[in-house]
Amino acid sequence: MKNYYVKIMFLFIILFLVLYGNPVKADLPMQGKVIVVDAGHGGLDPGAIYRDIYEKDITLNISKYLYEYLSSCGATVIMTRDSDSDLSNGVNNHRKKKDFDERIKIINKKYVDMYVSIHLNYLINYRYNGPQVFFNKDNKNTAVKIQEYINKKLGTDRSVKKIPGDTYMYGKLNSKGVLVECGFLSNKEERDKLITKEYQKEFAKILGDAIINYYN
């Protein structure tokens, strides 16, 4: 008799899930979205450098945290790189072009809803600070919404900028997306934050929430 009631209860649970779905997954704000997280530079390309601090390492860390956060919110997240390497596949001639071409292939897949390229800024004028969002083609509205959210959360006042049309990689991207300069490596106060795991994780969450806010 006990086994009979167990079977009945099991069938009831199956029926409930079929009729109403999984209530936990249904509440995830990024369910069904495919996001490409593009960690800038990598491998032989360090990006911006300040002493022994390399842009490529910070962009990778932030990208990994962003991957984890968006995945927990229901998104399918694809990373262009998840280690200290580029995408040239060992090609020596025109290495950077090969790296860009491989990133373009990943980002331009038809099922991709948005790409987010992660970079850091560096200027001779060390006074500049704050994350800044860049856009290509018709992505200005996307960039503005993400920039406004970041400004609100961090108390910054940066404005979006358009990526020059002759920039090789971004001129060939068809998917919706943005390039996010997560801060200035040239600014001491911001650099001191950017090198910490705590701030990298904090900024990744803010950026993730900005993307969620865009879609909801």
Which CATH number covers residue 64?
A: 3.40.630.40
Between 25 and 193, where is the model more confident?
193
Q: Is the pLDDT of residue 35 over 70?
A: yes
Return the pLDDT at 6: 36
Whether residue 25 is contained in a domain is answered as: no
Whether residue 88 is contained in a domain is answered as: yes
Q: Is the pLDDT of residue 62 over 70?
A: yes
Task: Determine what percent of the chain is predicted with pLDDT higher than 90.
Answer: 83
Q: Assign 3-class secondary structure to the chain.
A: CHHHHHHHHHHHHHHHHHHHCCHHHHCCCCCCCEEEEEECCECCECCCEECCEEHHHHHHHHHHHHHHHHHHCCCEEEECCCCCCCCCCCCCCCHHHHHHHHHHHHHCCCCCCEEEEEEEECCCCCCCCCCEEEECCCCHHHHHHHHHHHHHHHCCCCCCEECCCCCHHHHCCCCCEEEEEEEECCCHHHHHHHCCHHHHHHHHHHHHHHHHHHHC
Label residue 26 by pLDDT band (50, 70, 90): low
Give the residue from 158, 205, 143, 108 showing the smallest Cα distance to 100: 108
Q: Is the pLDDT of residue 107 over 90?
A: yes
Return the pLDDT at 37: 98
Q: Is the pLDDT of residue 8 over 60?
A: no
Do 141 and 209 meet the contact criterion of CB atoms below 8 Å apart?
Answer: no
Whether residue 16 is contained in a domain is answered as: no
Between 173 and 22, where is the model more confident?
173
Region 25-29: mean pLDDT is: 77
Whether residue 13 is contained in a domain is answered as: no
Region 82-99: mean pLDDT is: 92
pLDDT-wise least confident of 10-14, 53-57, 95-99:
10-14
Do 122 and 154 meet the contact criterion of CB atoms below 8 Å apart?
Answer: no
Label residue 189 by pLDDT band (50, 70, 90): very high
Q: Is the pLDDT of residue 185 over 50?
A: yes
Return the pLDDT at 24: 45
Whether residue 2 is contained in a domain is answered as: no
Q: Is the pLDDT of residue 48 over 60?
A: yes
Whether residue 68 is contained in a domain is answered as: yes
Whether residue 11 is contained in a domain is answered as: no
Label residue 22 by pLDDT band (50, 70, 90): very low
Give the residue from 48, 96, 102 showing the smallest Cα distance to 78: 102
Whether residue 106 is contained in a domain is answered as: yes
pLDDT digits (tens, 9 = 90+) for 132-149: 999 998 999 999 999 999
Residue range(s) defining the domain that contains residue 102: 30-215
Give the residue from 82, 124, 84, 86 showing the smallest Cα distance to 103: 86
Instruction: Give the chain's domain count.
Output: 1
